[in-house]
Amino acid sequence: MSAAESACPVSSYNEWDPLEEVIVGIVDGATVPPSHIALKATLPEDQHDFFRKHAGKPFPAEQIAAGKRDLEEFVHILEAEGVKVRRPEPVDQLKAFGAPGWTSTGLYAAMPRDLLLVVGNDIIECPMAWRSRYYETSSYRPLLKEYFHGGARWSAGPKPELKDELYDYDWTEAHDGGPFRSVISEFEPTFDAADFIRCGRDIFAQRSNVTNSFGIEWLRRHIGPEYRIHVFEFDDPHPMHIDATLVPLAPGKLLINPERVTKVPELFKGWDVFRAPKPIMPPEHTLYMTSKWINMNVIMLDEQRVVVERSDEPMIASFKKWGFKPILCNFRNFNSFGGSFHCATLDVRRRGTLQSYF
């Protein structure tokens, strides 16, 4: 690695090199997006009513306050572990925006993992398929400009039009266990960063209700022949984001969702495969946008230290058994907004170099 590379403010190749700088999202101003078919395909069944009734309105204030408390605890923990923490700027999510043919209001700046992808020294703004997330990078622009001035590459996918042609308005779930039917078409490239997970030269991806093949192909050519993108299909009728399904924790160590990964890809032959324990999230706890499997949505601070939800005893015990060092943090209130530690963060800089682990 050259001196210029090591000095770059953006530098991260995998999920486990020692974490130096991270962006942690915010829940301030979190707003329920307008109703749209693209949401329907991913929201939990029991949340459809809530989203219909509260479209375009802020999420309940007490939930936002509780989510904020969890985030503050998380930030303190990261700082105590020696990690530099950065935060996005709050923006008014109720301000309408649009493009020819549509208007929307926003969502939040809670999940940097969803919309920014760091591959080496490149920080990529993803062309997201949800209209409500079209301008979500606004909150991160001051940071992106700073990183660019500091020497990072700053890229963006082709700005999507998000016309009606992108969406399948007749979408219904394939109940018969048939092949995955996405709510989005191949009209133009779209992808969320969280449908990709990095493992040095190898990057794992899935097609989902926000990521199409066109988007994956765009990224493949953008990052170039130094990287290999592997596209997997899992047993998940509502795929959106890979980080509660298949999570490489360290070289040779893979965490899987045992319900969705019924066949571990051949590539991981010889790796330790850890099956995430069943989530213990109480049924009365509101989860607006995810399944309970966010118990496996953890962040590695290095090859051993892993941040785990404080009340998640089965996960804590499993990580200890597997030889990791769990660091506990309250995060259930934040979980309500659709993710856990991995979703809430973007590892901007980890101390390490580009390597092959296969």
Nearer CB in complex with ligand DAV: 212/290: 290
The residue ranges that bind ligand DAV (CB under 6 A) are: 194, 240-241, 243-244, 290-291, 293-294, 297, 338-339, 343
Nearer CB in complex with ligand DAV: 116/343: 343
Burial of 259 (0-12, 13-18, 19+ CB in 10 A): middle
CA-to-CA distance for 200 and 68, rounded, in angstroms? 33
Of the residues 195, 236, 241, 312, only one is catalytic, namely: 241
- Tell me whether residue 343 is one of the annotated catalytic residues: yes
Tell me which residue of 320, 258, 256, 309 sits closest to 282, measured CA to CA. 309
Nearer CB in complex with ligand DAV: 113/152: 113
Helix, strand, coil percentages, rounded to 5, for the chain: 25, 25, 50
CA-to-CA distance for 241 and 197, rounded, in angstroms? 9
- The least CB distance from residue 8 to ligand DAV, in Å, is 27
Of the residues 8, 199, 329, 343, only one is catalytic, namely: 343
| Residue 30 contacts residue 146 (beta carbons within 8 Å) | no
- The least CB distance from residue 243 to ligand DAV, in Å, is 6
- Tell me whether residue 8 is one of the annotated catalytic residues: no
Nearer CB in complex with ligand DAV: 9/106: 106
| Residue 88 contacts residue 143 (beta carbons within 8 Å) | yes
Instruction: Label the pairing between strands 305-309 and 97-99.
Output: unpaired
- The least CB distance from residue 134 to ligand DAV, in Å, is 18
Nearer CB in complex with ligand DAV: 63/291: 291
- The least CB distance from residue 343 to ligand DAV, in Å, is 4
Of the residues 28, 192, 202, 243, only one is catalytic, namely: 192
3-state secondary structure of 119: strand
Burial of 112 (0-12, 13-18, 19+ CB in 10 A): buried
Nearer CB in complex with ligand DAV: 45/226: 45
CA-to-CA distance for 195 and 240, rounded, in angstroms? 7
CA-to-CA distance for 146 and 79, rounded, in angstroms? 21
3-state secondary structure of 207: coil
- The least CB distance from residue 249 to ligand DAV, in Å, is 16
Counting Cα atoms < 13 Å in the Cβ hemisphere of 134 gives 18
Six token digits for residue 357: 């682990």
Nearer CB in complex with ligand DAV: 253/260: 260
- The least CB distance from residue 262 to ligand DAV, in Å, is 15
Q: Nearest 5 degrees, angle CA 229-CA 277-CA 273? A: 40
Six token digits for residue 86: 């950065």
The DSSP output letter for 183 is S
CA-to-CA distance for 292 and 283, rounded, in angstroms? 9
- The least CB distance from residue 355 to ligand DAV, in Å, is 26
- Tell me whether residue 329 is one of the annotated catalytic residues: no
Q: Residues with catalytic annotation?
A: 192, 241, 343
